[in-house]
Amino acid sequence: MESLALLTTLSSQDKESILSLATDYQAGNVFGGSQSGDIHVWSLRTFFPVTRLVGHESSVLCLTISVERSLLFSSSGDNTVRVWDTNQFGNALYVVKPPIDSCGDVLSLVWCNQLSILYLGCQDTSIQWICLPQSLTNRANGSKKGNDICGSAAMTRSNSSAPTIEHSISSPSGTHTLPAGPSSQDGFTSSACLSPNQQSNRSLHHKFFDSMSQSELLKAARRRERNNSQSPHLNAISPELGTDFQSKLRDPLEDACSVDGNQKDDGGEILFIDHKDSVTYAHFGYIYCLLLISLNDQLLLISGSGDSTIKSFAPSTASPQSSEDLGAVLTLAAYGSTLYSGYQDGVIKIWDLDTLTCIRTLFHRGSTDQTHPSSKDSDDVLTMTVLDNGELFSGCSSGVIIRWDSSFQRVLKWQSHQGSALASCFVLHQGKRLLLTGGSDNCIKIWDVYHTEASVPRVVTDDPDIKDPAGTAMAFQDRMFRHLSQFVSYRSISNEEHREECRQAALYLKTTLVKLGLVISLTLPGDPGRNPLVLATFKGKSSTDSPTTATRRRRVLYYGHYDVVQAGDEKDWTAPAFVMTGHNGWLYGRGVTDNKGPTLAVAYAVTALLDQRSLDVDVVMLVEGEEEAGSAGFQKAVKENKVSLNDQTSVPVTRLTGDSNCMKLLRSSLVISMSCWSGKLTLPAAFLSERSLNILSTSLSNSYWLDDETPCMTFGLRGVIHATVKVTSSQPDLHSGMHGGAVHEPVLDLVRILGDLVGKDGKICLDGFYKGVRPIDAEEQKHYDRIVEHISNVANIELLKHSPITSIRENLIAKWRQPSLSIHKIDVTGPAHSTVIPASAQSAVSIRIVPDQSVEKIGSSLVSFLTEAFKHLNSSNALEVKINQTADWWLGHPQDLHSVALAECVEEEWGIKPLWIREGGSIPSIPFLEQEFNAKAIHLPMGSASDSAHLPNERIKMVNLEKGNHVVANFLKKVALI
């Protein structure tokens, strides 16, 4: 079942259903009302939890917001409405209580910003209202003009091409029964206007002594019904919104509600609704939904009820009428003069408010013909949201959401929640078009409402930060995550079993880069039977005043890899490893941090500059498919294609095999590279000065932050020597009971010589092993000082875990800039039985080296040491020591001009200077490319310490990818000026 792209999932620890939603696009927050009574707040920028608003004693059934006043209103099953400050989260400012306790749940809310009136729809069938105190009506953040009729929660304008987005659609609690009251054929006429009681003399209201009895309330309702049958007109919810009326309303605002200044409820002042400010029995069923719109310059309050009726309260108008008993009206939405009403049993009716006629009936059911009923999937329509282009999204009790276009045709249907879809809203935030849905499966899901040819926005947001919501501001969010989701789905594990998946991943990456604007695309072969390399070039579009136009344009080479490691046991993952999922601001999936996510982030940074005509350097991307398996064939491919670096002939746009001319693409003065190791992601960048051969080195990064909060830059990596030590007997596998003690056992010989490698003091015993270790200088000591100063206590605990070294400084020095030796495993032949003497045993050994140790000398010393130690055993067995793979150490230059420029970009984006760190891992490509092209490299990690690359539940923060994208884009701009 096709669906929108799911960006992320938000959930809280209480694991309660999300019954209501609201968004504050200016502050960038999402509010979710839960079944437990708490209101959870998440950031729209990072999708991380912000805080929790506590106060309600029952389910939060409805949320509505006034962005202009920075106020959030929440209604609950505890018979109260609470008013919250969205700038300073804390206790509720006010607690609004109905005149009588028997009104039941407050099921719906709507806020009128112009009149500062809050309307309530209650379980006892009444509509109540209250005008908030003057102290709140004067609140305005200055970001919008104060003449808006309604708050952003439920206001649409029929006389404007830019209707205000409906931010809050509430749903009924699943615990309520839905009374099937009689359908009303007559419009409801109120004997009192739906506006605050404007009595001048204020009195303290008592909820018992000043309230009407139930019999009196029933008699009053019957009198109103008799009066209604005599008049086809409805009284207005307020007089005309002219200057005279506004001036009359301004003075008595403070008297419009009863305030008990002696009572506090969790720190909030209690406001009682005056019993005169209500219409009892406004319906003959629960009032599930309220909607306030402006139609033909008049306010219109629309209510939907469990009695199957929709009623409007406005001057000289009637109510939309239906001759059918369709069940309860559970949700309302509007776009201009079009009203949508959702019912029980999966029916959606569309009304023309100008003519008060039903123009279309839709069925939220399984049939492909939405205009005819079906017995399948006839679920209650619980929530509806209209987008800025007239598209409608409807959600039902089975969790299915349907997307209807502006012509009321169903274009998309998918399972959004494992349970009921209870709430939904749409927000346009910083160029992102997001649909939010809340469900009974205890989470909020955020969907990417990307543009299609049939879905072109006809309105821009009021957010001043959004200049062009349909342009490049949306490109990263809208397309990048969709491409990353598809990229992650390829099981590009660098082994023989997944060779075809790797090839398909390479082709997908190449196709994606072509769509993003590259002009040259190649796939280069690696070693026979190995995965190909993808080589792509983006041509800079220099402006006339660019400093590089007079000379040869510089080039930036980015190195990354598209292959990944095995996912391991899928049971250890919270979601399928090769299906990208999002949760509370994190993206999960194999490769999201190592290295597919950062690779696409770089590509989209280049594309953004191309769209802005701000790319004054050429960018070459070299992405291999064997990094996780030792980069087989990578060095060979680089060397073989180096011979024609000065060839100026063009390269075909598409070629499935490499040729000797392709390395001309490396002609530049800068290299950006990126890769990951040992489970962590990093984005590196390497800059090279202009040389006679005009060639730059490539760089790659396996670094990551020390914690999840502080950005870092990497300037050093250890080298590595991987070796296999094998001891073999001339005898077959033997039985220890028959031959033990009479033969030289391979396992014992292997253990003895391996034990000689490290002394009792923990020092490595190879001859002259520590002579080449470079001492720490004063500049590097300063970097350690700043690390110790800035890293949090939590990070310190994590860094010191599993280590007897209790000093954070000494711990980092031991891991980053001191050599080490590790024995990884011992394998034996024969059956794994405790009585068998194996005929052969081998061990995997690695040595990490640091500046200024020599890979060749240390490798030779290891072979000599083990050979000599084995001779002393006088064993009849045979020893074999094999050096499998080596990588030299790498040390960058933090004071280099390009390193400083990149650090400045990091600080500009994150608001803090990055920490300069080293890394204990090894990456063969960095020293190889530096030596091959005599060029420098610098590293920029995108991932954080808890990314878990190479481990189950690999992840990366969405904000890290987004900010990493911005850092690269800004960095490319600065490169052209150096």
pLDDT tens readout for residues 173-226: 333 322 233 233 333 333 334 544 443 333 344 444 445 555 555 555 555 555
pLDDT at site 185: 31
Domain positions in the chain: 5-470, 474-718+890-975, 726-774+817-887
Say if residues 936 and 900 touch (Cβ distance below 8 Å).
no
- The per-residue pLDDT for range 786-799, each reduced to its tens digit, is 998 887 665 666 76
Please list, in sequence order, all residues whose beta carbon lies within 8 angstroms of the beta carbon of residue 730, skipping any fewer than 6 positions away. Answer: 876, 877, 878
Please give the share of the chain, as a percent, with pLDDT higher than 90: 48
The CATH class given to the 5-470 domain equals mainly beta
Residue 317 has pLDDT above 50, yes or no: no
The fold for domain 726-774+817-887 equals Alpha-Beta Plaits (3.30.70)
Work out the average pLDDT over 386-391.
Answer: 91
pLDDT surpassing 70 at residue 606: yes
Q: How far is CA 737 from CA 328, 397, 734, in A?
A: 83, 70, 9
Residue 556: pLDDT band (50, 70, 90) is: confident
Nearest to 155 by CA among 168, 146, 139, 136: 168
Q: How many C-beta atoms lie closer than 10 Å to residue 619's C-beta?
A: 29
For 11-43, write each residue's pLDDT tens digit: 987 788 999 999 999 899 999 999 999 999 999
Which CATH number does 474-718+890-975 carry? 3.40.630.10
For the chain, give percent helix, strand, coil, nearest 5. Answer: 20, 30, 50
Reported confidence tier of residue 944, pLDDT bands at 50, 70, 90: very high
| 163 has a pLDDT exceeding 60 | no
Can you tell me the distance from the alpha carbon of 64 to that of 606, in angstroms, rounded to the nearest whole number? 40
Whether 634 contacts 527, CB under 8 Å: no
CA distance 268 to 262: 11
| CA dist 900 → 292, 689, 760, 974 (Å) | 55, 15, 44, 11
| pLDDT tens-digit readout, 833-856 | 889 999 999 999 999 999 999 999
Q: What is the pLDDT of residues 655-675, one digit of tens each?
A: 333 333 444 444 333 444 443
Q: What confidence score (pLDDT) does residue 43 get?
A: 94
How many residues belong to the chain? 978
Which has the higher per-residue pLDDT, 424 or 631? 424
Give me the chain's average pLDDT, please: 77
* Dist CA 349 CA 262 (whole Å): 48
Contact 542, 549 (CB under 8 A): yes
